[in-house]
Amino acid sequence: MNTKKALLAALALLLPATNLTVYAQSDLKSKVPHYRFSNDEKRQLQELRDNPLLKRYAESRDRLDSLDRHRPAYHFISPEGRLNDPNGLCFWDGRWHLFYQAYPPEDTRQHWGHAVSDDMIHWQDLPLAIYPDPESKVYSGATFVDGNRVIAAYHGVDYGNIAAISTDPLLLNWEKLPDPIVPITKKGENKPYNVFDPCIWRKGEYYYALSAGTQPTGPDGQRVPAEYLFRSKDLKQWEYMHQFIEHNDYSLVGDDGACPYFWPIGDKGKHILLHFSHKSGGKYLIGDYDTAADKFIVKGGGNFNHGPVSNGGVHAPSAFPDGNGGIVAIFNMTSGKRIGGNSYSELMTLPRLLTLDSLGFLRIQPYGDIESLRGECVSLSDMALPANREIVLDEVKGNTMEIEAEIDMCGAPAVEIDVLRSPQNEEYTRIVFYRNGGYPDRTKPSRSKLRASAIAIDNSCGSLSEDVRPRVTETADVYLNKDENVKLRIFIDRSVVEVFVNGRQCIAVRTYPTLDESTGVSIRSFGKEARLVKLDAWQMDNIYHPAEEATDESGNALRR
């Protein structure tokens, strides 16, 4: 058995855990058990097989899944309790590693949770990676693969920005460097920078680190986002250089630059800075890295979240190069309802591949082996969509589905697909494509031939529950060529709806249907008749509890 399959097999044999004891916090040392692992992969797999924390996670997943109808089946969620920002996404030794802010029940300060995947879709839990102490909480940060080691840079609350190093096959053991990258600013100190979420990279003989923050250079001294640059030759002695970003006209007053990830993208020397705003959610800037001046010259930008930061929107990013000029990004999503007890409140989006097209537009496509989740399929083709009439697709039902649809608008101004729809229309979530309904891009003549369309998700009728807070309609521009058909990939996962449009845009919301029969799908064309060229709808497997394998009459394996 190869090592990747061995890892999955070892983690699959976990036993139920015993009840947990909740301790009161008395010092900075975490109350969660902290394990040291061997540096040999074969021994690590055996140690993980018997690890009490992983046994506890397995039991917790089973319990929570049985309690919550909205707990997703194929999006990553914390094995116990809640999670927050994704952190330090990286590809190491043939596997993808995802870290995230975890809140263990016996010590609910932030720790770095940890999961691993061969394909960015099927995730296996690993023990907590980074624990608080000397910091009081482990906040967000990024990783950098530096030869035969991985460096994590993160914000340690009340201490400063910290670097930690791991070299073992599964990144189970982390050693923090004794001194912070930049210490926390003490009371009374007047520093020209903020000390907050960092990211890290290397150029020549220097390591570079950003520290997120704001500066009071907006209108009337209002605060706008900033990223402060530091460098070091040895990860020990760091010098502050300057504010890293120049000519940023793509952020809102009141945004900040939390959770930064700075990477090259494409083959024309461009760079992308993904970050998070506590005002408007996930965002990005695209531009040129002036390596002589060590400045990022912004030439473009946009949003991954297209409304307020809260109420079921796309939150913070974590990102890492795919090795082919693209960037793989994953985001957490906030809750759209009040959550109680030991359930989850946030989850991760599907991974997204970010690339640049020939005109410099950001392309956004699903990433990972999503097709491996596909089960039973229903296909429709060449269907007329009469003007202003809803057509219920009786054959297409489910709350864990992927729908791939191609639509010829035929001059219609808009087409709507409703999902998670109840038979009497008490609950439904609307997905609407508006042809030529977006903001035109008049910045460059080469873009004037593109049609500024828009995609929207409206969950205002998605739930009958009084605990659900509808989100302001999520709406994003998408640019199609004049005669290009609309191609949608819609992912429905109980309380998540993600929509990818022609490989160029993605929007996502949380939605919470309450009725068991809220599983239907309908379609409607507005103003003029349109045509459904093709629609495929797959039932999707649960990545934590895969469907049992079935066989046909000849004994061949069938997917459910």
pLDDT along the chain (560 residues), means of 10: 50 37 59 96 97 97 90 96 95 98 96 98 98 97 98 98 98 97 91 96 98 92 94 97 94 94 97 97 97 97 94 96 98 86 75 95 97 98 98 98 98 98 98 94 66 94 95 96 95 98 98 98 98 98 72 39
Contact 134, 92 (CB under 8 A): no
> Could you tell me which residues come within 8 angstroms of residue 395 by beta carbon, excluding any fewer than 6 positions away?
378, 380
Rounded Cα gap, residues 159 and 176, in angstroms:
13
> Does residue 449 sit within a domain?
yes
Are 351 and 493 members of one domain? no
The predicted pLDDT at position 457 comes to 98
> Could you tell me which residues come within 8 angstroms of residue 315 by beta carbon, excluding any fewer than 6 positions away?
84, 85, 276, 281, 282, 305, 309, 331, 332, 333, 334, 346
The predicted pLDDT at position 16 comes to 35
Rounded Cα gap, residues 219 and 405, in angstroms:
45
The two structure tokens encoding residue 209: 């680190």
What CATH number is associated with residue 354? 2.115.10.20
What count of other Cβ atoms lies within 10 Å of the Cβ of residue 4?
Answer: 14
State the burial class of residue 16 (Cβ atoms within 10 Å of its Cβ: 0-12, 13-18, 19+). Answer: exposed
Are 230 and 268 members of one domain? yes
Domain boundary among 308, 340, 366: 366
Rounded Cα gap, residues 148 and 145, in angstroms:
8
> Does residue 545 sit within a domain?
no
The predicted pLDDT at position 292 comes to 97
Query: Considering only CA atoms, which of 558, 542, 547 is closest in space to residue 121?
Result: 542
The predicted pLDDT at position 161 comes to 98
Contact 394, 537 (CB under 8 A): no
Q: Report strand pairing: 474-480 vs 391-397.
A: unpaired
Contact 409, 542 (CB under 8 A): no
> Does residue 304 sit within a domain?
yes
> Does residue 555 sit within a domain?
no
The predicted pLDDT at position 494 comes to 97
Rounded Cα gap, residues 311 and 332, in angstroms:
12
Query: Considering only CA atoms, which of 427, 415, 348, 421 is closest in space to residue 387?
Result: 415
The predicted pLDDT at position 14 comes to 41
Are 352 and 446 members of one domain? no
Could you tell me the residue range of the domain that residue 525 belongs to? Answer: 373-540
> Does residue 549 sit within a domain?
no
What digits encode the pLDDT tens for the residues 318-331?
999 999 999 999 99
Domain boundary among 335, 366, 397: 366
What CATH number is associated with residue 511? 2.60.120.560
Contact 101, 119 (CB under 8 A): no
Query: Rounded to whole angstroms, what are the CA distances from 490 to 101, 276, 453?
Result: 28, 24, 18
Contact 521, 403 (CB under 8 A): yes
The predicted pLDDT at position 344 comes to 57
Are 402 and 342 members of one domain? no
DSSP state of 45: H
> Does residue 395 sit within a domain?
yes
DSSP state of 236: S
Rounded Cα gap, residues 8 and 364, in angstroms:
29
Are 322 and 398 members of one domain? no
Are 462 and 487 members of one domain? yes
Are 332 and 378 members of one domain? no
What digits encode the pLDDT tens for the residues 237-258?
999 999 999 989 899 999 999 9
> Does residue 384 sit within a domain?
yes
Are 377 and 332 members of one domain? no
Domain boundary among 366, 384, 409: 366
Round to the nearest angstrom and report the end-to-end CA distance of the chain: 26
What count of other Cβ atoms lies within 10 Å of the Cβ of residue 157?
Answer: 14
Bridge partners, 265 (sequence order): 270
> Does residue 551 sit within a domain?
no
Contact 531, 408 (CB under 8 A): yes
pTM, rounded to two decimals: 0.93
The two structure tokens encoding residue 19: 């009840």
Question: How many structural domains does the chain have?
Answer: 2
Tell me the one-letter amino acid at 259: C
Are 416 and 460 members of one domain? yes
Q: Report strand pairing: 138-146 vs 149-156.
A: antiparallel
Rounded Cα gap, residues 178 and 189, in angstroms:
22
Are 271 and 308 members of one domain? yes
Contact 280, 237 (CB under 8 A): no
Half-sphere exposure of 141 (CA within 13 A, CB side): 32
Are 132 and 40 members of one domain? yes
The predicted pLDDT at position 548 comes to 47
| Phi, psi (rounded to 5 degrees) for 282 | -70, 135
Are 138 and 56 members of one domain? yes
What digits encode the pLDDT tens for the residues 161-190?
999 999 999 999 999 999 999 999 988 899
